[in-house]
């Protein structure tokens, strides 16, 4: 049975994340799990896609992939986003995503 409160899932070697973005933070950082989303703080204003662009760069750095390997699936202008990480190179311990889930 699929858990509905999980903020991540694996699609082959790709990681799908459900995020809630807190724009305007002082630094980019992972936050706590809120239901079916994980909170991500980004230091960019929520205007003209700046926070989304900064989020994608943060995720690329965190998962050791090129920015092109981070795809926004849903939520371009919303704080609730769904993102695909293509073949993540590393898994950050603060996300709580187990490496054995692949």
Domain locations along the chain? 8-88
Architecture of domain 8-88: 2-Layer Sandwich (3.30)
CA separation for the pair 2, 53 (Å, rounded): 30
Q: Tell me the pTM.
A: 0.88
The residue with tokens 């703080």 is 41
Least confident of 39-43, 46-50, 51-55, 88-92: 88-92
pLDDT of 97 reads 76
């Amino acid at each position: 049975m699929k858990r509905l409160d999980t903020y991540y899932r694996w699609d082959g070697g790709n990681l799908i994340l459900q995020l809630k973005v807190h724009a305007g933070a002082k630094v980019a950082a992972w936050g706590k799990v809120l239901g079916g989303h994980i909170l991500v703080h980004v230091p960019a204003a929520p205007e003209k896609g700046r926070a989304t662009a900064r989020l994608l760069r943060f995720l690329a750095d965190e998962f050791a992939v090129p920015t092109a390997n981070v795809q926004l699936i849903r939520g371009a202008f919303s704080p609730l986003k769904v993102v695909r990480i293509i073949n993540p190179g590393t898994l950050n311990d603060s996300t709580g995503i187990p490496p054995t889930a692949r």
